[in-house]
Chain A
Amino acid sequence: MFPPEFDNLLYVGLQHYLVVGAVLFVSGLFTMMTKRNAIGILIGVELVLNSASLNLVAFDRYLGPGRLDGQIMALFVIVLAAAEAALAVGICINLYKNLATMDVDQAADLRG
């Protein structure tokens, strides 16, 4: 239907997925760096882990037929991210119980 010059545009390659992963990673990094709410930092961590899983699955899909190593690694990343989020939320709630605030800048008891 389209003229042949459009053929390059009609192809979604590995780079496209990797760029999406990079944007996710950088957003997660920015969130981790700038949010002071402890759970905000956790959300940044989740974004970074998601970008890693996306990269793993994208490589798995584009680098050879019938491979599934990337998908299994992404599965483990998802499971471990869930476990780590559970513990981290527990820690954040304990932080709130002790300091009555979620601001990580206030958690400075060990400084000096």
Chain B
Amino acid sequence: MLAALRPREGTLILPVLLLVSLASTAYGTEGVAGEGATAVTSAAEPGGILEVLSFYGCAILTVVCALGVCASKNIVRMAVWLFGALGAVALLYFLMAANFIGAIQLIVYVGGTLILLVFGVMLTTKSPWVRFEAKRWELIGAGVVCLALLVCLCTVLCRTAWHAAEGAMPGAAVAEIGRSLLTTYLVPFEVAGVLLMIVMVGAAHLARQEKKS
């Protein structure tokens, strides 16, 4: 009878919507009236309670999904956990007012790369429950190494006195990104285009039918 009180899956919608909307506006993007952030909006201050809550929510989601990728044994479930991790990272980008990068992350990574990975999984899985497991000692060794690395990294990151500027920093507008892609970063832009063409040729070559000989 207690199971009747367990929250149904429908309750997922509202928190996710709230999280997405909070994450996208916890910094100086405009509110309902379309004007710039006025003094009323507490979200415009640095370190407001809203931003902290959104950050911890998104960060915990990212960490949980990343650990889920490590811990799951089924390859499709790993892909779904990766989807969660990528989506949560996109939310973090929105929180840092890097709206364009967040949207590009969702389009390219989630809507492109992840779909590609999942297609790859489905074309190469004999049965959903086939698992390759690493040996016990491999897991423990890798876990120890990774934990040690994590501890080192976190210690270094938290103890370094970064020259971080205080205060709210609005992200660059999309127009500036576009302009700098065509002026300052023109060469990497063109090289990336050539590289994408090479990748297209390579993928087409890899996918061609073998000649029956």
- Interface of A toward B, CB cutoff 8 Å: 2, 7, 9-20, 22-31, 33-37, 39-40, 42-44, 46-47, 50, 53-54, 57-58, 60-68, 71-72, 74-76, 78-87, 89-94, 96, 102-103, 105
Complex CA gap A36/B89 in Å reads 26
Whether A86 lies near B203 (C-beta < 8 A) is: yes
Prevailing SS type, chain A contact patch: helix
Whether A39 lies near B202 (C-beta < 8 A) is: no
Whether B69 lies near A31 (C-beta < 8 A) is: yes
Q: A34-B142, A50-B86, A58-B96 are in contact. Are A71 and B101 (CB under 8 A)?
A: yes
8 intermolecular pairs with C-beta atoms under 8 Å apart = A19-B158, A23-B63, A35-B78, A46-B117, A54-B92, A68-B172, A78-B108, A103-B132
Whether B93 lies near A47 (C-beta < 8 A) is: no
Q: Which residues of A contact B49 (CB under 8 A)?
A: 2, 10
Complex CA gap A93/B180 in Å reads 38
Q: Which residues of A contact B116 (CB under 8 A)?
A: 85-86, 89
Whether A10 lies near B206 (C-beta < 8 A) is: no
Q: Which 5 A-B pairs have the closest CB atoms?
A: A11-B47, A68-B172, A90-B206, A27-B66, A36-B132
Q: Which residues of A contact B196 (CB under 8 A)?
A: 79, 83
Whether B66 lies near A23 (C-beta < 8 A) is: yes
Q: How many A-B residue pairs lie within 8 Å, measured between CB atoms? A: 224
B31 at the binding interface (Cβ < 8 Å):
no
Interface size on B, residues (CB 8 A): 80
Q: Which residues of B contact A89 (CB under 8 A)?
A: 116-117, 119-120
Of B101, B112, B138, B157, the contact of A82 (CB 8 Å cutoff) = B112
Q: A26-B150, A35-B134, A71-B177 are in contact. Are A47 and B85 (CB under 8 A)?
A: yes
Binary CB contact string for chain B from 96 to 137 against chain A (1 if under 8 A, 0 otherwise):
111011001100110011101101110111000000111000
Whether B98 lies near A60 (C-beta < 8 A) is: yes
CB distance from A98 to the nearest CB of B (A): 10
Whether A90 lies near B150 (C-beta < 8 A) is: no
Q: Which residues of B contact A91 (CB under 8 A)?
A: 206
Whether A50 lies near B85 (C-beta < 8 A) is: yes
